[in-house]
Amino acid sequence: MNILYLINFAGKAGTEKYVLNLMHILSERGETCHLAYNVPGQLSETISAEGFPCFRFDMSAKNALSAAKKLAGYCRANAVDVIHAQYPMENVIAILSKRFYRSVKVVYTAHLTIYQNMKWKILNRIVTPFDHRVIAVCRQGADILAANGVKKDRIRVICNGIEPSGERVYDRSFAREFGVPDETFVMSIMARYSPEKGLPFLLASLAKLRRKTQKPFVCFIAGDKGEEFGDIAVMITNSGLGDCVIQLGFRRDTDRMLKSSDLYLNTSSSEAMSFAILEAMNAGVPLVVTDVGGNPDLAVKNTVCGEAVKFGDSDAFSDAMLELMENDALRSEYSANALKKVSEEFDLRKLASDVFEAYK
């Protein structure tokens, strides 16, 4: 099968990991995978270096019809069977391309759990009946897609996945590099500095935690220096957290950070199925997360490996952190459960197989 993955910005976030994983696994199984994109980034650089066929073209909304013609031309020339679009605008362009190359199927994965405006709801009612499948990466995502006007009989829930590690490797070397003593409780979060990641909520919760315990702790924040980076730095200082919150910026060694961590945090106000949380679970790190999107599926549904707390409730969030800081036995139980859950429910190979079935 010839499969083309369509994404506007070929950067380095969770969606790009999703695409890269699928391309690697399915190409190993003998399928031919292509990448089509507009804005280059880490994903396009990686895919190109690995020898996958790539196609770059303008995907701006004002040029959607022209983009559809170019996409159809590439698909016709390369006998593409399936276009797998990653976001709403990419899906619209992919569906429009069927006007010029009718034999291609379009599958769309919704990586966001947001309620769209009326314009998009109307557009979804027009466009999505022509999708072969629409993939939601969590149960809440499927409900939101239906509310956004996506045709219900097209929706399938297929969660994100990761290659199971099978073991907890606890290594404090990363924390030591930042002068963190071994007896300090280490927490970590991987998040862009953008409003939906809830970093002000994180700081409010950490400030309350400090008032509730005398035990030393530190929290690493790993993520691109986005629009809120400077504001968060000021808030850290003003909250008196300068000695216990460390802004790392973007890191390529977050696996080492997770091995040094006693607890992983997610404070997002909106989340689909977080690869960062999956990576933490795969490292055997217990969770305290907000109860949005796929977070409860990861932390508390079926096998419990953490706590899910209402976004904005800094008292409850700090209490959840404190409980796991003080309860070694519970932390150990959640750690083992996280590894078990990844293996049983979120194995990357199963994800790839389920997605491939959606192409048929």
pLDDT averaged over every residue in the chain: 95
Task: Give which of 102, 264, 246, 265 is closest to 175, Cα–Cα.
Answer: 246
- Counting DSSP H helices and E strands in the chain, the numbers are 15, 13
Q: What is the pLDDT of residues 140-194, one digit of tens each?
A: 899 999 999 999 999 999 998 999 998 999 999 999 999 999 999 999 999 999 9
Q: Would you place residue 224 in the very low, low, confident or very high pLDDT band (cuts 50, 70, 90)? A: confident
Q: Which helix (H) or strand (E) holds 25?
A: helix 14-28
Task: Name 307's bridge partners.
Answer: 288
Q: Indicate the angle between helix axes 328-345 and 314-326, nearest 10 degrees.
A: 100
Compute the distance between CA of residue 94 and CA of residue 105 in angstroms, rounded to an integer: 9
Q: What is the pLDDT of residues 299-329, one digit of tens each?
A: 999 999 999 999 999 999 999 999 999 999 9
Q: What is the pLDDT of residues 4-58, one digit of tens each?
A: 999 999 998 889 999 999 999 999 999 999 999 999 999 999 999 999 999 999 9
Q: Would you place residue 113 in the very low, low, confident or very high pLDDT band (cuts 50, 70, 90)? A: confident
Q: What 3-state DSSP class applies to 357? A: helix
pTM: 0.85
pLDDT reported for residue 144: 95
pLDDT reported for residue 19: 96
Give residues with Cβ within 8 angstroms of 204, minimum separation 6.
239, 314
**The token pair that represents 151 in the structure block:** 């045709």
pLDDT reported for residue 326: 97
What are the b/e assignments for 129-149, b being 16+ CB within 10 Å? Answer: ebbbbbbbbbbbbbebbeebb
Q: Would you list the DSSP string of 38-86?
A: EE--HHHHHHHHTT--EEE----GGGHHHHHHHHHHHHHHTT--EEEE-
pLDDT reported for residue 235: 95
The residue assigned the tokens 């990363």 is 174
Inform me whether the pLDDT recorded for 219 exceeds 80.
yes
For the segment 208-218, the average pLDDT, to the nearest whole number, is: 97
Give residues with Cβ within 8 angstroms of 124, minimum separation 6.
88, 116, 148, 149, 150
Inform me whether the pLDDT recorded for 225 exceeds 90.
no
